[in-house]
Amino acid sequence: MRSIRPSLQAALANALSKRSLSASAVVSNFCTNGSQSDLVSGAPPELLHRPVRIYPLTKSTMQSAEGKTKRWMVDWNVLQGSGRWEDRLMGWTSSADYIQGTSLAFRSEKAVYFVEKQGWRYKIDEPKKIRIPPKNYANNYAHVPGKLGIHHTK
């Protein structure tokens, strides 16, 4: 019982002493209430005050189809003064922030529901609409007055 937060521990002890509810019923009651789901999540208290960013996963440059781009990612913003330093041997950036490299993936917009259920503050980055201007094949052969463009192959 030490890993459970004190308010949940008190509710469990109260319910078990009255023998009115089982422990699983008390925990499920806490989980259905959105503001108190953090009591049983196991997340450290300082994580509750960090804002998260929700954004759609973009396709990689090696990918032409949009097959794996229907995912939404949740990650935590980097803290100011989070103890960053550069490794002198390899030149890698290190950090004392343990949650910085953590992200969660969701298959739909249920990421917002999950974040609200946890009671975290969030910001949604909407995907940017890319507008490809219409092109005309005849423009490849259009005469443009001025200096000729010479393209060297070697």
Contact in structure between 36 and 51 (CB atoms under 8 Å): no
**Of residues 50, 27, 47, the one with CA closest to residue 37:** 27
Of the options 3.40.50, 3.40.462, 3.30.70, 3.30.160, the CATH number for the domain spanning 43-128: 3.30.160
pLDDT in tens, 19-35: 655 556 655 555 555 45
- Please tell me the total number of residues recorded for the chain in this structure: 154
Every domain of the chain and the residues it spans: 1-42, 43-128
Rounded distance between C-alpha atoms, residue 33 and residue 18, angstroms: 22
Q: Is the pTM of this model over 0.85?
A: no
**Of the candidate ranges 26-40, 54-68, 99-113, the one whose mean pLDDT is the lowest:** 26-40
